Structure 1
């Protein structure tokens, strides 16, 4: 079997969740991969009635796994079980994985945020009696989402995004050829030079993808820090308003004390003693009521 035929027989396993993806994005992706001669497997290719654990065997037969993280991904325990198997094979160096973030941010998957995280916690509760299993799910999500991947957002065009995935899969499969001895004996120097040039291009392209992903990670971290700063500043604004109100109240109390002392100084010595609660108005029960800062006042500070 020559190198090109071997590439065509390398299988790509697609791990995803949701009928809306299956009938839309996934169908277009599978069609594009097949059009480029790439052997691709999705669960609908498995025979009806066959135990779904056979999907693990399909993962073992594959060279590459495409993990499509979407908003509904963590609804499926089977997706999560497949992901655990994908992680195991990847850790063993037997499988390469490309995470694809479809309309979800990488940090949402890594940190289990939003609906993605809520659904995962629902699965955790559902399988709370099998903690080792849920721990493996969490480890697999963290491990795979940390890898360099591709992000489809609201500004992306699906047709272009599919072409990028196909291109990356083909490059990865070409990289797999280096793991096998090529037949045909010694190759001429021109061929070797061309291969070296192609490899350098591949390396540069991967490096550029790595830089883009690093920038995306930094941007996500900046968003988190910015939001934290906004939250802290909002709390500070409220505290500033409360401080002003407390200062005004204290000034009023001091005025009352001065008036009371004035009155006491002018009273007949036989006059009944002034009650403590008038001499110490800050101890009155109504002074313990919470101070509420309005949004209108908050924005003046």
Structure 2
């Protein structure tokens, strides 16, 4: 399974952005910002779909917050322009770090793009550490160490991409957020 995305739309609307990604599909030539979504949530579906993500989704529906769930992504697919646009046109991103988040290059590419939007637009980012110690994310220990050992083998010809993912994890894990590392359900 791959990482899934959840967005909540606000009443505002925006026009589609051009897809001006560079070769690695991460560092986009991001167009001027016009908010379309209030919140973008990055999560690893296999870890959180039936737990925190579904509970959050239900609570938001109960509050009449329009919700978009991206369950169409297949393993190995690249991040599409519509998803990049959703990140770019969001006011806030919530990143749900879980045991297998770092094993998904999709999740890691999303994370890099979210942090680029934070830098460029002042996009707010809130990390949530769900069944994972924040220190493991920050230092890529535990399950993240194993994931990066595999990524370094797979991307040995593009090690800069792996370094970018490591830096993004370290950066995001230093942000103020919520620690549910010892809580389940």
TM-score by length of 1: 0.45
More strand by share: 2
Specify the SS of the correspondent of 2:44.
Answer: coil
Matched, 1:37 2:64: yes
Q: Does 1:58 align with 2:86?
A: yes
1:26 offset after TM fit, Å? 0.9
**Residues 157 and 36 of structure 1, relative CA distance in 2, 3 Å threshold:** farther
Q: Indicate if the aligned counterparts of 2:47 and 2:100 stay in contact, CA closer than 8 A.
A: no
Q: Which has the larger radius of gyration?
A: 1
Question: 1-side partners of 2:184 and 2:132: how far apart?
Answer: 15
The aligned residue for residue 73 of structure 1 is: 101
| Greater fraction of residues in helix | 1
How big is the alpha-carbon RMSD for the aligned residues of Structure 1 and Structure 2?
2.4
Unmatched tracts of structure 2, length 5 or more: 1-9, 13-35
Distance 2:70 2:64 in 1: 19
1:27 to 23, 32, 54: 54
Task: Give the deviation of 1:120 after TM superposition.
Answer: 1.9
Decide whether aligned partners of structure 1 residues 39 and 112 sit closer, same or farther in structure 2, where only a CA change above 3 A counts. same
Deviation at 1:137, TM superposition (A): 0.6
Tell me the SS of whatever aligns to 2:179: strand
Deviation at 1:65, TM superposition (A): 0.9
1:103 CA displacement: 0.9
Tell me the residue number matched to 2:161.
133
User: What are the equivalent positions in structure 2 for 1:1-301 lying under 5 Å apart?
Assistant: 10-44=37-71, 52-54=79-81, 55-154=83-182, 156=183, 158=185
Which stretches in structure 1 are left out of the alignment for 5+ residues? 159-301
**Which whole-Å CA distance do the structure 1 matches of 2:105 and 2:51 have between them?**
22
Write the deviation string for residues 74-99 of structure 1: whole angstroms up to 9, x where unpaired.
Answer: 11000000000001001113421110
Partner-residue secondary structure (3-state), 1:13 = strand
SS in 2 for 1:134: helix
Residue 146 of structure 1: how far off its partner (Å): 0.6
When residues 136 and 69 of structure 1 are mapped into structure 2, their CA distance, relative to the original with a 3 A threshold, is same
TM-aligned CA deviation for residue 118 of structure 1: 1.5
> Any conservation in 1 of the 2:140–2:166 contact (CA below 8 Å)?
no
Per the alignment, residue 185 of structure 1 pairs with none
